[in-house]
């Protein structure tokens, strides 16, 4: 049923339909509305669920780790510093193979403190063993959460999933969203069948010490499960389409790339702006396109290769930067083409940091820049006078 609803409120409604048994929350802007909505559902008796207010994100992540260890579906959301405070626990969750789902409302990280959107927080955690999915719209954000539980709990995958949504741009945007019926969600998402649980009837030790003779194999196993996830993600997306009647999720989305000379690759809400500019420039006769990366981890290397191998000029737009190197997505995509025969010219652009608006003009500027020399780290809309002030 279509509703005019805030992104965070819609995600909370979706989580309710995914039926977690325990939710833990700790406040941080801009994800707070999700937890607040869920707390109200529980207070009103609309959900059979325990709500645990933690005293930090570190504990909040540890609480859902414990919940999952007794075989109960759970949920948590965070942003920015909260995600970084969770970092240690997130690695632990992945290493313990617990099929959790959390939402990261993407926000810049301190210092300087900045509560606005970029993707530095979740991108920093890309090596943690979590599957990372990025949403372009609130409809997609809602759909990805349902698919995320199904993916995490699949016995061939059994890894935690982080659904990343741009802070404010999505969390606080009010728009029309098609919210599913409970039966639709149930049909895609059966009850959790945990693979290993803490139970006095069959005692196990979880989180034991692995010495050098076995530790490497745990990393190999996670990496192999990530490869399984590359197969499962499109399958779940297809099933979703059958049941819900719309395309959502998957590894990538290609937009008007077939005959394109220039393509911008990006993740999250900025892709909508890119698509708008592509439409405008196509009307003006320019052969431009866009590739949306939905699944950032596991890296869909083959899909990226096939989507971009025929494109002469590729721009990768990162809303984060590995300081001292380049945009992380740009590095990933260059890695995909390393040693391959068809290698596009791949330029790296950094944009939208700390909530700086990425306008249509910013996107046109990127397409224009592609005709020139390859750039590695071009900061879009950099304001030199602001740099002087900062000094």
Partner 1 sequence: MATKHLFASGHTACAGCGQAIAARLVVDAAGPNVIIANSTGCLEVFSNIYPRTAWEVPWIHSLFENPASVASGVEAGLRYLGKLDKIRVIAQGGDGSSADIGFQAISGMFERGHDILYVCYDNGAYMNTGIQRSSQTPFDANTTTTPPGSKSFGKTTPHKDLVRIFAAHDIPYSATASVAYPTDVQRKVKKALDIRGPKFLQIYVPCPLGWHHDPGLTYNIAQLVVETGLFPIVEYENGELASVRTIKEPKPVEEYLKLQGRFRHLFGTPEGEAEVKKIQAIADANIRRLGLVKEQPKKEAAAAEPAAEETAEKETPAEKETPAEKPAEEEKVSELKKFTLEELAKFDGKEGRPAYVAYKGKVYDVSESAIWDEGDHLGMHEAGKDLTAELEDAPHEEDNIFEMPLVGELEG
Give me the residues that bind partner 1 (CB under 8 A), please.
21-22, 24, 48-50, 52-56, 58-60, 62-72, 74, 88-89, 92, 96, 198-200, 203-211, 214
Q: Could you give the CA distance from residue 79 to residue 155 in angstroms, rounded to a whole number?
A: 28
Of 19 and 296, which CB lies nearer to partner 1 in the complex structure? Answer: 19
Q: Could you give the CA distance from residue 359 to residue 119 in angstroms, rounded to a whole number?
A: 17
Find out whether 184 and 244 touch, Cβ atoms under 8 Å.
yes
Q: Could you give the CA distance from residue 209 to residue 158 in angstroms, rounded to a whole number?
A: 21
Find out whether 260 and 288 touch, Cβ atoms under 8 Å.
yes
Q: Could you give the CA distance from residue 240 to residue 248 in angstroms, rounded to a whole number?
A: 7
Smallest distance from partner 1 to CB 193, Å: 14
Smallest distance from partner 1 to CB 51, Å: 9
Of 74 and 81, which CB lies nearer to partner 1 in the complex structure? Answer: 74
Smallest distance from partner 1 to CB 71, Å: 7
HEC profile for 272-341?
HHHHHHHHHHHHCCCCEEEEEECEEECCCHHHHHHHHCCCCEEEEEECCCCCCCCCHHHHHHHHHHCCCC
- DSSP string over 25-78: E---TTTHHHHHHHHHHHHTT-S--EEEE-SSHHHHHHHHHHHHHTT--EEEEE
Smallest distance from partner 1 to CB 73, Å: 9
Of 74 and 137, which CB lies nearer to partner 1 in the complex structure? Answer: 74
Of 22 and 144, which CB lies nearer to partner 1 in the complex structure? Answer: 22
Q: Could you give the CA distance from residue 173 to residue 157 in angstroms, rounded to a whole number?
A: 32
Q: Among the residues of 47-154, which ranges form H helices?
A: 57-69, 80-95, 120-124, 138-153
Of 56 and 238, which CB lies nearer to partner 1 in the complex structure? Answer: 56
Smallest distance from partner 1 to CB 57, Å: 10
The DSSP element (H or E) to which 362 belongs, if any, is: helix 360-369
Of 67 and 260, which CB lies nearer to partner 1 in the complex structure? Answer: 67
Of 63 and 311, which CB lies nearer to partner 1 in the complex structure? Answer: 63
Residue 45: cis peptide before it, omega within 30 degrees of 0: no
Smallest distance from partner 1 to CB 349, Å: 38
333-337 long-range CB contacts below 8 Å, 24 or more apart? 333/265, 333/304, 333/308, 335/301, 336/299, 336/301, 336/304, 336/305, 336/308, 337/305, 337/308, 337/309
Q: Could you give the CA distance from residue 214 to residue 199 in angstroms, rounded to a whole number?
A: 25
Smallest distance from partner 1 to CB 89, Å: 7
Rg (CA), the chain: 21
């Amino acid at each position: 049923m279509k509703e005019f609803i805030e992104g965070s409120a819609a995600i909370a409604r979706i989580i309710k339909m995914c039926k977690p048994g325990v939710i833990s929350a700790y406040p941080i802007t801009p994800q707070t509305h999700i937890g607040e909505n869920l707390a109200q559902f529980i207070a009103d008796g609309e959900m059979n669920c325990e709500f645990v207010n933690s005293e930090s994100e570190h504990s909040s992540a540890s609480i859902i780790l414990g919940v999952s260890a007794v075989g109960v579906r759970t949920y948590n959301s965070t942003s920015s510093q909260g995600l970084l405070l969770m970092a240690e626990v997130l690695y632990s969750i992945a290493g313990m193979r617990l099929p959790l789902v959390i939402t990261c409302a993407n926000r810049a990280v301190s210092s300087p403190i900045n509560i606005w959107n970029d993707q530095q927080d979740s991108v920093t955690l890309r090596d943690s063993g979590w599957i990372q999915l990025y949403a372009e719209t609130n409809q997609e954000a809602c759909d990805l959460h349902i698919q995320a539980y199904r993916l995490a709990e699949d016995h061939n995958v059994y890894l935690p999933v982080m659904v990343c949504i741009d802070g404010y741009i999505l969390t606080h945007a009010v728009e029309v969203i098609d919210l599913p019926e409970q039966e639709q969600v149930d049909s895609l998402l059966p009850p959790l069948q945990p693979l290993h649980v803490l139970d006095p009837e069959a005692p196990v030790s979880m989180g034991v010490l692995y010495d050098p003779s076995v530790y490497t194999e745990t990393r190999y196993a996670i990496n192999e499960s990530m490869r399984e996830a590359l197969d499962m993600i499109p399958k779940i997306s297809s099933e979703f389409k059958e049941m819900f009647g719309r395309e959502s999720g998957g590894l990538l989305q290609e937009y008007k790339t077939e005959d394109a000379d220039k393509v911008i690759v990006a993740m999250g809400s900025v892709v909508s702006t890119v698509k708008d500019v592509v439409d405008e420039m196509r009307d003006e006769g320019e052969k431009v396109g866009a590739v949306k990366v939905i699944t950032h981890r596991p890296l869909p290397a083959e899909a990226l290769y096939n989507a971009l191998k025929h494109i002469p000029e590729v721009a990768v737009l990162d809303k984060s930067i590995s300081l001292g190197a380049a945009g992380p997505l740009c590095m990933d995509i260059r890695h995909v083409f390393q040693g391959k025969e068809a290698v596009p010219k791949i330029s790296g652009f950094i944009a939208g940091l700390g909530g700086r608006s990425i306008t249509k003009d910013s996107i046109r500027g990127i397409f224009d820049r592609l005709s020139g020399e390859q750039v590695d780290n071009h900061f879009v809309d950099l304001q030199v006078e602001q740099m002087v002030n900062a000094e």
